[in-house]
Homo-oligomer: A and B are copies of this chain.
Amino acid sequence: WTCTILFLIVLSLVLLSRAEEGLEFPNFDGKDRVLDINERNYKKALRRYDLLCLFYHEPVPASKGLQKRFQMTELVLELTAQVLENKDIGFGMVDAQRDAKVAQKLGLEEVGSLYVFKDDRIIEFDGELSSDTLVEFLLDVLEDPVEIINNAMELRAFERMEEDIRLIGYFKGEDSYFQAFQEASERFQPYIKFFATFDKSVAKHLSLKMNEVNFYEPFMEEPAILPGRPLTEMDIVEFVHQHRRATLRKLRAENMFEVWEDDMDGIHIVAFAEEEDPDGYEFLEILKDVARDNTNNPYLSIVWIDPDDFPLLTTYWEKTFKVDLFRPQIGVVNVTDADSVWLDMSNDEDLPTAEDLEDWIEDVLSGRVNTEDDDEFADDPENDHYILEESDENPDTDEEDDGDD
């Protein structure tokens, strides 16, 4: 485990202005909007804004190079603040050393994280700290945590959101049951979407009974019904905590680090599939089938990454994992050292079937396929993994692979 360091990139966006008007990206105007938070001003800042967004950072480093990085972080916040100027959002920096007391009072824990204060809640932002991701995130936080579905059009939109975790409840109106649901929703905003309907025909279409709450896992057609009715805030919160690690979950800029940190005993099963690509699309369909068949297996969670969403990471992944991301891939990644093994799908035209994938996943979950490829035999008493022979460069992880060529 290395200590937390601030990594940083400049993704400068340069705009060639034209004679035409109407497409001008904001350019930082030099006006200082990000507050230096301290014991004297933090309470006022909390009172003053609808949202307060605080970056909790290590002390400003002495070296010039690291200072430049720090200034870049500030610039991300300044640009975000400028873009959202009319939205009543405050921005500030809290120094982990100089402002240690304030940090403690505010409940800031992870140095290098960004915390958003809304009413009496703290929301940790655990995504790419770029201005565009942050702007979207903050606009989501500003909205109501429960979205009401009033008609068939809104219902269709709800049904199209297959990539998201969604809860939906049917209530008589804004009564105490609805309020319990709303209070639960606040704890997960904006990462988990909460919907409610007061409309009988919407409820009927979703087979929802009065005061019932359904939980839709990503990519699942059938929801889980929360046990008990009516539900308390804590019933809902506990259910979400237990079920939020989906069988198939898409990696997104807005919470990529949160997902990555939520590994399973130090590993992730990672699937790369470009949705716009023919192979990628079909592979994803197969993955969804596998996820639907195994949705009740608590030990299975596949992180789906669409390389199109992360152009800057694609070559890094290709290098780190030694895979070709122009094709779909599935493998096991050890998150402590980024060591990985990948299902060999290189020599045939056909994608693996759902059964092939399930066999491979079983091998992963049983430990027969794993990343400890340097040892011939693992002798770790804590897990009785049996290591198949593997070469470093081209791990032959699929011993049951019957060549069809």
* A residues adjacent to B (C-beta < 8 A): 1-2, 4-28, 69, 72-73, 75-76, 79, 83-87, 112-113, 128-133, 135-136, 139, 153-154, 156-157, 160-161, 256-257, 260-261, 263, 268, 270, 276-279, 281-282, 308, 311-316, 319-320, 333-338
Contacts and interface: CB of A to CB of B under 8 A. Distances in A.
* A-B complex: 3 closest residue pairs judged by Cβ atoms: A157-B278, A21-B338, A7-B15
A11 B154 contact: no
A14 B23 contact: no
Contacts of A314: 135
B21 A73 contact: no
A129 B279 CA distance: 30
B22 A129 contact: no
* Interface residues of A, dominant DSSP: mixed
Contact of A312 (B25, B113, B278, B320): B25
Given A278-B153, A311-B136, A79 B16 contact: no
13 contacts: A4-B17, A7-B15, A7-B17, A7-B24, A10-B75, A10-B79, A12-B131, A14-B73, A19-B336, A20-B261, A22-B268, A23-B260, A133-B311
| Most chain B beta-carbon contacts within 10 A, residue among A72, A132, A156, A277 | A132
Contacts of A113: 16
A373 B161 CA distance: 41
Given A22-B333, A83-B312, A281-B160, A76 B13 contact: yes
B15 A128 contact: yes
A108 to B, nearest CB: 13
Contact of A129 (B6, B9, B14, B282): B14
A86 B318 CA distance: 11
A5 B27 CA distance: 12
Given A75-B12, A311-B132, A311-B135, A335 B21 contact: yes
Given A17-B4, A333-B22, A12 B311 contact: no
Given A9-B79, A131-B312, 14 more contacts: A6-B16, A7-B16, A7-B24, A8-B27, A9-B26, A10-B75, A12-B130, A13-B130, A14-B76, A18-B257, A21-B334, A24-B313, A153-B278, A161-B276
Contact of A20 (B313, B319, B335): B335
Contacts of A129: 13-16
Given A83-B315, A260-B23, A282 B153 contact: yes
Nearest to A147: B278
A257 B338 CA distance: 40
